[in-house]
Amino acid sequence: MRLELMPYAKRFMQYDESDDNFWFQLRLTFQWDEGKYKEMMEIVQGMLGEYQNEDVFPKPGIYFFTSTVDFIVGIISNPLFSVNPPLGFTQEGYKEFLNSRKAELMNLKDNFLGGEL
């Protein structure tokens, strides 16, 4: 039995396959892009909402939570990532900002894997 993908799941799959997704650009540029991060989170949250009452979840979404989140956290945890903070941030402020984003991602991952979402 093949299930039709819901709209956000389709959008996530297109996003995942593009060279413009947040984690690809993060790896490529080694710079945080808040706009791309928010776009990623909006798509992921939308997909979670679509499948909230379903017994299935798209494989690319599962891969996101089991691998991509750790990949993102690993990159921004590298001490070299926060050496040159963007304009408007002190080095400490940037580290705090990145730590808040790491916590947000890990909390989302833990809630997904724990079945709370």
**Would you list the domain boundaries of the chain?**
62-117
Backbone phi, psi, residue 30, to 5°? 55, 35
HSE-CB at 43 with a 13 A cutoff on CA atoms is: 20
Radius of gyration of the chain (CA): 15
pTM summary value: 0.91
Structure confidence at residue 117 as a pLDDT band (50, 70, 90): low
DSSP H/E element including 107:
helix 91-113
Structure tokens at 55: 């017994």
Mean pLDDT (the chain) is: 93
Instruction: For 88-106, write each residue's pLDDT tens digit.
Output: 999 999 999 999 999 999 9
> 12 in helix, strand or coil?
helix
pLDDT at 115: 83
Q: Is the pLDDT of residue 2 over 70?
A: no
> 92 in helix, strand or coil?
helix
